[in-house]
A and B are shown apart, each in its own frame.
Chain A
Amino acid sequence: MYILTLPSLTNSARLLAGKLTVEGGKRIEVLSSPQREPPLVRWGCSHGEYSNDTRYNSRKAIRTCGNKTAFSNFLSMTDISYVEMNSGNPERFPIVVRTVLNGNSGDGIVICKNMNEFLPYRKYQWSYFYNFDYELGVHILGGRIEKLFKKVWNRDTPEPDYPIRNMDKGYGFRRVNPISFKKLHPYVQSIYDEFGIEFCRADIGWDISNRCYRVIEVNTAPSLSNNEDTLGTYFEFLKDRLL
């Protein structure tokens, strides 16, 4: 039995495999190339095709979530509000240019506040900048919100005018109670219904202008190395279903 992942995502996969091996009682390996048998879990890796593939998570869901163009195009066919990727000339500014479409931690993000700033990036896809009231990191397991974090500014300096809320840019996570976010539950349920994705961490912002949540991205290989408790949550969820 093995967890299939990408070389760049092995840290969290190894932690999970170790816990499943020690506490679950079955030896689980971490591999980055598909084997003859389907993997037990796909950790952000869509390689290899099997007729009896694991649904934790499906290859198709991982591929769609891992490509911002496909993710945006997929969501355009649903009723889920989202941050739409565009190409061509924007009608207004600021915009968020993505020079990398399958990156993590804000890789390749550039904010353009006017056409002059945009011109060097015309060939890239972009999204309009949403002034989110707040952003959440939502661990969704089996369609339920299992853990919820609010992204908070961690530095002494004033928060930027156009924040990109990730750890590299000075943000941290503060655990919050899901009960306080009533509209989030049906919204998360709709993401689960459309994607059928069994575990992920979704970045979701509250668009105060339109009074709705918008999904920014869905990570099918969430980091488990920063928080032992989160690792435990994923372990319990997968252990009950797979071992």
Chain B
Amino acid sequence: MKAILDTVGFEIESIGLTRNEMSAILDTLPSSVYSMLHLDRDASVEFNARSIGGTSLAVSTHTTEYNRLPITGRSSTYGYELISSPVSISTAENILWNLLPKLQSGGDFTHERAAFHVHVGFGCSIKILKRAMMLGLKVDPLLFRIAGMGRKFRGESNHSIYARPLSNGPSVYHSSSSTYYRMLDPQKAIASSTIREFFNCYAISVDNSSPVRYHPARYFAWNLYSLLLHGTIEFRHFNQTLSPTLAISVVKFCRALAELIMYYDESLLDAIPDMSVFEKYSDDDYIRVLDTLIAHMKMNDVSDPLNAKEIDVMYKNIYDTPHHKLVEHNTLTHNRDYRLSSEYVNSGLFTKVGRPSPAGNIDIHNIGQGRFSIIGDE
């Protein structure tokens, strides 16, 4: 049967190790694990550091402290991105159980700049896109609630610019009118009758032979543009984690959510109240949404459902994670050079917004301008 929902993938970002250090850790993993992972770079988690006096303590060169310390040695670039091949759930479990403890013992650590993204293999049709959008609007508040993965949500520092909620996309600039517009009106996307109309709501032309990789459409937490780019639905909500149980529970939850897109009926949407990503609700409210989703996953007999222990991990994640402090305002896309074309402005699909706030995102190119802790979370 067509490989829809058969595979998952994940991306692990981290600032804790150099790519050389990461590569050395990968070499220690069983080949069945190693062969499924691809080591890459990602500017959003990189920084330069030098060692103090030949010891293994590295100090960021982007801090004011750096200039006051007697630091020698060569500068190294820290930060990496690890990308898995498309794998089955059982292989994903095997990879995460092997990999994450090794990272921890190898000196890696979690940080607010780093994320954990989950992909689920999926197909594309206008029907599926609309169903995915409707479910995404209902589920986004819960996913943002747990996105901190037991810690402060990384999106608080950068207006979640790499993972915007569906209800509040990034603002993009239209040069001719010197006006800003919001990317994506979900209700207009839901009213579309073709895939072309749907992605026009993201200022994407599906007629292009190959989709543009770095486009503001990609930076939604519930990322449907990934269907065009990779044939997957991507969940970009989550903070990096080094806990295998939490990572596996989240991967399985995302996979089951994707499967629900195929199966759900109106009763699921009716059973989940309309919540806002930007409002604060009680833990019990989020638990009720989680319970409703898990009940529907069970009712529809999803493949690889969460077991009792994994469901407990999801509950615990709600209780353990501090509620994020995302504010509902216009945020400028971090694709600073992107310009919305007049064709899309004239289509009436985009809503005009006031001057947006800059995202405040940190990457290797602007890290010296931002606050940055050297080691670990605050």
A residues with a Cβ closer than 8 A to B are: 46-47, 49, 51, 58-61, 63-64, 67, 69-70, 72-74, 76-78, 84, 87, 101, 123, 125, 194-197
Contact = CB atoms under 8 A, between A and B. Distances in A.
Interface residues of B, number: 23
A64 B183 CA distance: 34
Contacts of A70: 262-263
Contacts of B1: 58, 60-61, 64, 194-197
Contacts of B4: 74, 77
Given A49-B303, A87-B266, A73 B131 contact: yes
A141 B131 CA distance: 33
13 contacts: A49-B303, A60-B5, A61-B1, A69-B263, A69-B265, A73-B125, A76-B128, A77-B2, A77-B125, A77-B128, A123-B266, A195-B1, A196-B2
B301 interface: yes
Listed from nearest, the 7 A-B pairs whose CB atoms lie closest are A77-B123, A76-B125, A76-B127, A196-B1, A77-B125, A70-B262, A73-B262
B2 A67 contact: no
Interface of B: 1-2, 4-6, 90, 123-128, 131, 261-266, 300-301, 303-304
A76 B131 CA distance: 12
Nearest to B1: A196
Contacts of A59: 303
Contacts of B131: 73
A26 to B, nearest CB: 28
Given A69-B263, A70-B262, A87-B265, A194 B127 contact: no
Contacts of A51: 90
A67 B125 contact: no
A76 B126 contact: yes
Given A74-B123, A76-B125, A76-B127, 13 more contacts: A60-B303, A64-B1, A69-B263, A69-B264, A73-B125, A74-B4, A84-B127, A87-B265, A87-B266, A195-B1, A195-B2, A196-B1, A196-B2
Contact of B2 (A46, A72, A78, A101): A78
Contacts of A69: 262-265
A81 to B, nearest CB: 13
